[in-house]
Chains A and B, each alone.
Chain A
Amino acid sequence: MSKARVLVGTRKGAFILTSDGKRKRWKVRGPHFTGWEVYHIKGSPADPNRLYASQTSGWFGQVIQRSNDGGETWEAPGGGPVVLPGGMPSGESNRFVYDTSPETGKPLTTHQWYDGTQHPWEFKRVWHLEPSLHDPDTVYAGVEDAALFRSTDGAKSWHELAGLRGHDTGPKWQPGAGGMCLHTILLDPSDAGRIYVAISAAGAFRSADSGQTWQPINRGLRSNYIPDPNADVGHCVHHVAKHSSRPDVLFMQKHWDVMRSDDAGDSWHEVSGNLPTDFGFAIDVHAHEPETIYVVPIKSDSEHFPPDGKLRVYRSRTGGNEWEPLTKGLPQRNCYVNVLRDAMAVDSLDECGVYFGTTGGQVYVSPDGGDSWSAIVRDLPPVLSVEVQTLP
């Protein structure tokens, strides 16, 4: 029978939750990396036992961890104890250095700061790790301040794909309340060269050449705080999701508005429809039904908890516009948690499972596509990210 393995990043460590295909009884392992913020953990589609984790701390900076056995054991690639006869150590696993090479032809040094002045890029942390669809040793990292890095040696060393940050619009990117982060990376199974990324607050971008060059794909986004309705960048995109069978169809949860594109991001239209609020962070697509999507509406602007204290996932079976609340098993009073942008995932078991984690430390599962929910765990540290692997 197939199994589900849920990878949970929290403010104080990582947890791994496993169950058989029924998804009723769960085993909880962790915390791993105790006391560190774990922004994201994700497994390689090419080798499900290869996991990557972003372990970060305001005191000690960024560490990348790797597991080759499904999370039983971990190592910082290239970071083990070594005694060298001389010179500097070889460990480079945690080194994210922005490209300033003359080959780019651009200084790549500034973006817009809160006060409108230009500010140099400063690495802070890795928000999202996206393993290659085909090679377990290749993995992409979306970082704050916003940039895209890639490793092709199992996270030992990282190199920036500087064409993104070097885009002409770079000086207009600016940090949102959570910092200026590259939080979404989508790889296209039908086209190895195509990558989508999203940045707060710059917008969405697409590459057709494996990340060498990029174009903004934000036409149709409307952001009240931007004077120019046709602005190329400056949009606070919270998350983007797609179904693997339809790489041109994208769904976006923006700061406000749930959006849809049917042309690989060339144009967007709003599909918020009857949602109680069009603000939120997480969005995902059913594993077997490309027109079935999920969001968790959150009260805007700065309150950031569910409307009326009721935790409701909303499902659309029509690709947006028509939404139904999913409440069975979810608290419907006195609930004031948030669901962050990377904290929702779906499995690909025959009956699609949907998962999300909250800032209150709960991780919920619905083994029936959202019809009913239960808490796998209730008292973890605030959940930053949730990913799920479907295992044989």
Chain B
Amino acid sequence: MIRVVLPFHLRRLARLEDEVQLEIEGPVTQRAVLDALEARYPVLRGTLRDHLTRQRRPFIRFFACQEDVTHLAPDSPLPEAVAAGAEPFLIIGAIAGG
């Protein structure tokens, strides 16, 4: 079970109280996590990635195991601790603006 923590505004948008738990078949990658998240919560489509290009929105960052994994290739494996559910995959709204 993969654990995903969303930023405040997206938790409210998806009507979530806490972190999300997702089942992912196959390799646990950034792309697989986001695909599974959007499949379960379609309202999040377009809020993390562009609808068409699937590119990350500029002010969205990804962290895991104390590391910035934003720029990992979308199909690179995420840390084993994330794949095992021991550590969450953190989606962060960049700290900018008001």
Q: Which A residues are closer than 8 A to B by beta carbons?
A: 34-36, 57-63, 76, 78-84, 88-95, 97
User: Contact at B57–A63, with CB atoms within 8 Å?
Assistant: no
Closest CB-CB distance, A271 to chain B, in whole Å?
39
Whether B64 sits at the interface, judged by CB under 8 Å, is: no
Contacts of A80 in B (CB 8 A): 42-43
Q: Which residue of chain B has the shortest Cβ distance to A85 in the bound complex?
A: B39
Closest CB-CB distance, B34 to chain A, in whole Å?
12
* Sample of 19 further A-B pairs with CB below 8 A, known A94-B51, A97-B52: A36-B9, A60-B10, A60-B57, A60-B60, A61-B46, A61-B47, A63-B13, A63-B43, A76-B13, A79-B41, A82-B40, A82-B42, A83-B40, A88-B39, A89-B45, A91-B45, A92-B45, A93-B43, A95-B46
A-B contact pairs, 8 of them (CB 8 A): A34-B12, A61-B57, A63-B47, A78-B42, A81-B14, A81-B40, A92-B45, A97-B51
Contacts of B19 in A (CB 8 A): none
Q: A59-B60, A59-B94 are in contact. Are A76 and B9 (CB under 8 A)?
A: no
CA distance A86 to B90 in the complex (A): 25
Closest CB-CB distance, A39 to chain B, in whole Å?
16
Closest CB-CB distance, A342 to chain B, in whole Å?
22
CA distance A58 to B13 in the complex (A): 15
Q: Which residue of chain A has the shortest Cβ distance to B43 in the bound complex?
A: A79
Contacts of B14 in A (CB 8 A): 81
User: Contact at A81–B41, with CB atoms within 8 Å?
Assistant: yes
Contacts of A35 in B (CB 8 A): 8-9
Contacts of A36 in B (CB 8 A): 9
CA distance A89 to B94 in the complex (A): 26
CA distance A61 to B44 in the complex (A): 10
Contacts of B51 in A (CB 8 A): 94-95, 97
Q: Which residue of chain B has the shortest Cβ distance to A63 in the bound complex?
A: B13
Q: Which residue of chain B has the shortest Cβ distance to A83 in the bound complex?
A: B40
CB-CB contacts of B38-69 with A at 8 A, as 1s and 0s? Answer: 11111101111001100001011000000000
User: Contact at A94–B39, with CB atoms within 8 Å?
Assistant: no
Closest CB-CB distance, A153 to chain B, in whole Å?
15
Closest CB-CB distance, A33 to chain B, in whole Å?
8
User: Contact at A60–B9, with CB atoms within 8 Å?
Assistant: yes
Closest CB-CB distance, B82 to chain A, in whole Å?
22
User: Contact at A89–B13, with CB atoms within 8 Å?
Assistant: no
Contacts of A81 in B (CB 8 A): 14-15, 40-41
Among the interface residues B12, B43, B57, which one has the most CB atoms of the partner chain A within 10 A? Answer: B43
Q: Which residue of chain B has the shortest Cβ distance to A75 in the bound complex?
A: B43
Whether B93 sits at the interface, judged by CB under 8 Å, is: yes
User: Contact at A62–B42, with CB atoms within 8 Å?
Assistant: no
Q: Which residue of chain A has the shortest Cβ distance to B8 in the bound complex?
A: A35
CA distance A80 to B45 in the complex (A): 11
CA distance A92 to B48 in the complex (A): 14
User: Contact at B42–A60, with CB atoms within 8 Å?
Assistant: no
Whether B26 sits at the interface, judged by CB under 8 Å, is: no
User: Contact at A79–B42, with CB atoms within 8 Å?
Assistant: yes
Closest CB-CB distance, A159 to chain B, in whole Å?
14
User: Contact at A62–B46, with CB atoms within 8 Å?
Assistant: yes
Among the interface residues B10, B14, B51, B93, which one has the most CB atoms of the partner chain A within 10 A? Answer: B51
Q: Which residue of chain A has the shortest Cβ distance to B92 in the bound complex?
A: A59
Contacts of A34 in B (CB 8 A): 12
CA distance A82 to B41 in the complex (A): 6
Closest CB-CB distance, A127 to chain B, in whole Å?
17
User: Contact at B52–A58, with CB atoms within 8 Å?
Assistant: no
CA distance A363 to B93 in the complex (A): 31
CA distance A78 to B12 in the complex (A): 16
Closest CB-CB distance, A152 to chain B, in whole Å?
19
